[in-house]
Amino acid sequence: MLQYLVTYASETGNTKKIADEIYRTLPNFRKEILNIRQWNGQYDSETYFIGFWVNHGTCSLEIIDLLSSLHGKNIALFGTCGLGNTPEYYRKIEKSALTWLPDDNHFLGSYFCQGCMPQEIRQKYELCRGKCDETQLNLMIKAYEEAKFHPNRQDLLRANIFASEVITVADKIQGR
């Protein structure tokens, strides 16, 4: 059995950057990293770092399938999203993913940060001008602009700290 498995969904590479940083932080012993698309149940692990990009406020079906299948494991979540760089928004995302995690797991926390969005999203926003609520639209454009340069070095550093904290707690649970 692995000690740590990092698995993630990432369409444009933002979440992969966080996954790679978390993987680098883990001790070099019985660890694997895997795009969720390659997941076929081939690994069993004590601790799972499960990452996703936020799509319409939540995670993808593949992530839901994985979360729902786990029992008696240590679980940490991570991810990237375009909007709302606030603790409240990140809590909402965490909550929506945790709905799928059975209660017999140990949830060890989550880490989210912003990730740049494709240019088509900005174009879509512009097409909305005059048809949508202007204040809301301006907020979305502001978030788009803010997200442009994320994940950045700070985001990766925070991911590294998050992973170190999770390792400490997971080790305690496993009696190491």
Ligand X SMILES: Cc1cc2nc3c(=O)[nH]c(=O)nc-3n(C[C@H](O)[C@H](O)[C@H](O)COP(=O)(O)O)c2cc1C
Q: Which residues bind ligand X (CB under 6 A)?
A: 10-15, 53-57, 80-83, 115-118
Q: How far is the CB of 4 from ligand X (least distance, A)?
A: 20
Are 79 and 61 a contacting pair, CB within 8 Å? no
Shortest reach from residue 125's CB to ligand X, in Å = 12
Q: Which of 137, 142, 143, 116 is nearest to 125 (CA)?
A: 137
Nearer to ligand X, 26 or 79 (CB): 79
Cα radius of gyration (the chain)? 17
Q: Smaller CB distance to ligand X: residue 128 or 169? A: 128
Distance, CA of 87 to chain centre? 14
Structure tokens at 166: 């999770």
Calpha distance 99→149 (Å, rounded) = 31
Q: Cβ of residue 17: shortest distance to ligand X, in angstroms?
A: 8
- Beta carbon nearer to ligand X, 45 or 115: 115
Closest chain position to ligand X (CB): 115
Is the CB of 55 or the CB of 99 nearer to ligand X?
55
When the beta carbons of 96 and 105 are compared against ligand X, the nearer one is 96
Report the amino acid identity of residue 147: A
Structure-token pair, residue 90: 């990140």
CA-CA-CA-CA dihedral for 62, 68, 74, 79, to nearest 10: 40
| Nearest approach, Cβ of residue 77 and ligand X (Å) | 14
Min separation Cβ 57 and ligand X, Å: 5
- Cβ atoms < 10 Å from Cβ of 115: 24
